[in-house]
Amino acid sequence: MKTLNFEFQLETDLLKLFDFAVPNQYTWSMLPPKPKYPSLVVRCDRTEPERGFGDAGVHSADMLVHIQTYRADDKQGIELQRLLNQARGVLLAPRLAERLNAVSGCTIFAAVNLEGYENPDSEIRSYTLQLQVKFSPTKAD
């Protein structure tokens, strides 16, 4: 039953890779009903082959890794952009690829996509970094 906890373990491992200061850090499974801002949320989702990934509709990946940040105190988005650039660096870092390969034979086959939107009901901005991960068998030498 190791597979059932894979997303939780990966969320936890990814969050530990963020060694820069973000006041509030959460994994998706531990996200409180009212998170404090600014915050960083790490979420890993596995796909169901027939449906893809919810709103993303991605069928070519086995897992999506989402990094979400919300900031209400950075109206120009300067601080948020700095944090997102650091987050992108973490996702593309060799040690993440090594961790994925060591644990499950994963390969990262897509670049990170950055999405951003403003919440019309407030001044809080939400940005998401998305990384597509494909599971593949380890090649025999």
16-25 pLDDT, tens digit each: 777 665 678 8
Whether the pTM exceeds 0.75: the reply is no
Rounded to 5 degrees, what are φ and ψ at 5? -95, 5
Gap between the Cα atoms of 119 and 109, Å rounded: 31
- Give how many domains the chain has, as a whole number: 1
Is position 121 within any domain? yes
Within a domain: residue 25? yes
Sign (positive/negative) of CA torsion 39, 40, 46, 51?
positive
Quote the mean pLDDT of the chain.
Answer: 62
Confidence (pLDDT) at 39:
73
Would 98 be classed as within a structural domain? yes
Q: What is the pLDDT of residue 108?
A: 53
| CA pair distance 58, 126, nearest whole angstrom | 21
C-beta separation of 40 from 84 below 8 A:
no
Residue 74 has phi, psi (to 5 degrees) of -135, 70
Does some domain include residue 130? yes
Residue 141, in any domain of the structure: no
Question: Is residue 140 one of the residues assigned to a domain?
Answer: no
Whole-angstrom distance, CA of residue 141 vs CA of residue 139: 6
- Its domain, for residue 65, covers 2-135
Which CATH number is 91's domain given? 3.30.70.1700
Residue reference for tokens 């944090």? 83
Residues in the chain: 141
Q: Which of 4-13, 64-73, 88-97 has the highest mean pLDDT?
A: 4-13
Is 94 within the bounds of a domain?
Answer: yes
68-82 residue pLDDT tens: 666 666 666 677 677
